[in-house]
């Protein structure tokens, strides 16, 4: 399949463009700034599956369908000094996520640990952004997001031995601060691959590897336009896919049941299962103070030493480097801050359409 040429835009200019779009779409300026921060984090670091490519097909599409409450009131269903359960009031996930993570971080600074489960909100972008927020305060950060389908869904992630999806890609992210090395930052779906990568490869005219997923009839395919169901992390049972399935359900428990999103509504909705229904996404955030266990400086020196030991480990044939989580993204960010952020033809077309619709100039390099 043919690959297409890319345009480039300076990172700060793209951030300003996205922020302005959200404001002109009706978001309060603070929420628009949070949303732009989340998306530019991903686009700067090469996590293009979760960056500005999602502006039109996800976030502005949600707003156009009137799914999003542009002026939400985040309310506490339950709160303790170390925890909170929050109703997101149908907020844009890119606004609800940072609000909830800051609450978890504030509780961690005050009590040592903070945990927030939030329901009744939507797609919150790259899971890694939220531990990234915690790293700035030398906290260990955690984030997860999930959707569990009451009954089988027309796309998503299969449970092991299942023929139809029951989960979204339910990612997990965790970050540890370091001293001199780039921060360790894991961000992974509990499926073989996130669905956004399938659609991005489709838009770029690329085939996908065999083993990522199957079509509507359960047949393996390399055609991204035909994929309907993804395997859990590991693939099929023989390759350890039951572990990814277990992780996906763990994330749904924390994000959907603990948050109160998967709730018994006592109605006759045919989409409900035994009275339970999940209306939209749920998220879980946590932050921990390192000095509950040891000094921050000692911990960060230990992280650096562990990373360097891995760098110095023997390399497999054909490879000259071992990476740790977040390292490739950190180096990509340095390059993109210097050279600009690439925009595929599909993404550029979407941004130009939004530029015209909201009378917001888009300035390329």
Specify the pLDDT at position 131: 98
Q: How far is it, in rounded angstroms, from Cα 83 to Cα 113?
A: 8
Q: Place 3 in a pLDDT band, splitting at 50, 70 and 90.
A: very low
Specify the pLDDT at position 11: 98
Mean pLDDT over residues 123-152, rounded? 95
Q: Place 187 in a pLDDT band, splitting at 50, 70 and 90.
A: very high
Distances (CA, A) of 128 to 175, 178, 255, 277: 8, 16, 16, 28
Mean pLDDT over residues 46-67, rounded? 96
Domains of the chain: 1-71+325-365 (1.10.1530.10), 72-192+231-312 (3.30.1370.60)
HEC readout, 75-107? EEEEEECCEEEEEEEEECHHHHHHHHHHHHHHH
Is the pLDDT at 28 greater than 60? The verdict is: yes
Q: How far is it, in rounded angstroms, from Cα 243 to Cα 47?
A: 24
Beta bridge partners, 121, equal 91, 281
pTM above 0.85, yes or no: yes
Q: Place 2 in a pLDDT band, splitting at 50, 70 and 90.
A: very low
Specify the pLDDT at position 266: 66
Residue partners of 335: CB distance under 8 A and separation at least 6: none
Specify the pLDDT at position 276: 84
Is the pLDDT at 4 greater than 60? The verdict is: no
Mean pLDDT over residues 352-364, rounded? 97
Mean pLDDT over residues 182-191, rounded? 97
Higher-confidence position of 352 and 6: 352
Q: Place 102 in a pLDDT band, splitting at 50, 70 and 90.
A: very high
Beta bridge partners, 85, equal 78, 117
Is the pLDDT at 282 greater than 60? The verdict is: yes
Q: Place 5 in a pLDDT band, splitting at 50, 70 and 90.
A: low
DSSP 60: I
Mean pLDDT over residues 65-83, rounded? 97
């Amino acid at each position: 399949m043919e690959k297409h040429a890319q345009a480039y835009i300076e990172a700060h200019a793209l951030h300003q463009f996205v922020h302005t779009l959200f404001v002109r779409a009706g978001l309060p300026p603070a929420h628009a700034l949070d949303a732009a921060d989340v998306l530019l984090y991903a686009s700067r670091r090469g996590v293009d599956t979760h960056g500005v490519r999602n502006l039109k097909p996800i976030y502005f599409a949600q707003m156009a369908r009137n799914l999003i409450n542009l002026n939400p009131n985040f309310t506490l269903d339950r709160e303790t000094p170390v925890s909170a359960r929050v109703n997101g009031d149908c907020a844009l996930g890119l606004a609800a996520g940072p609000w909830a993570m800051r609450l978890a971080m504030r509780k961690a600074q005050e009590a040592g640990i903070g945990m927030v489960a939030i329901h009744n909100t939507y797609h919150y972008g790259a899971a890694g952004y939220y531990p990234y927020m915690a790293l700035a305060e030398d906290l260990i950060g955690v984030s997860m997001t999930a959707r569990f389908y009451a009954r089988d869904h027309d796309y998503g992630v299969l449970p092991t031995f299942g023929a139809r999806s029951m989960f979204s890609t339910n990612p997990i992210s965790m970050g540890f601060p370091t001293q001199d090395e780039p921060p360790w930052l894991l961000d992974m779906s509990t499926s073989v691959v996130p669905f956004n990568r399938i659609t991005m490869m489709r838009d770029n005219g690329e085939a996908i590897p065999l083993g990522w997923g199957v079509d509507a009839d359960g047949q393996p395919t390399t055609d991204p336009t035909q994929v309907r169901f993804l395997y859990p992390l590991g693939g099929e049972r023989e390759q350890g896919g039951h572990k990814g399935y277990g992780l996906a359900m763990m994330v749904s428990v924390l994000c959907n049941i603990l948050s109160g999103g998967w709730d018994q509504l006592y109605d006759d909705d045919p989409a409900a299962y035994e009275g339970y229904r999940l209306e939209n996404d749920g998220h879980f955030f946590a932050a921990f103070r390192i000095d509950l266990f040891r000094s921050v400086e000692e911990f960060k020196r230990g992280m650096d030493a562990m990373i360097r030991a891995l760098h110095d480990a023997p390399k497999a044939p054909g490879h000259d480097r071992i990476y740790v989580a977040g390292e490739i993204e950190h180096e990509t960010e340095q390059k993109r801050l210097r050279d600009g952020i690439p925009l595929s033809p599909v993404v550029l077309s979407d941004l130009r359409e939004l530029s015209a619709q909201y009378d917001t100039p888009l300035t390329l390099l």
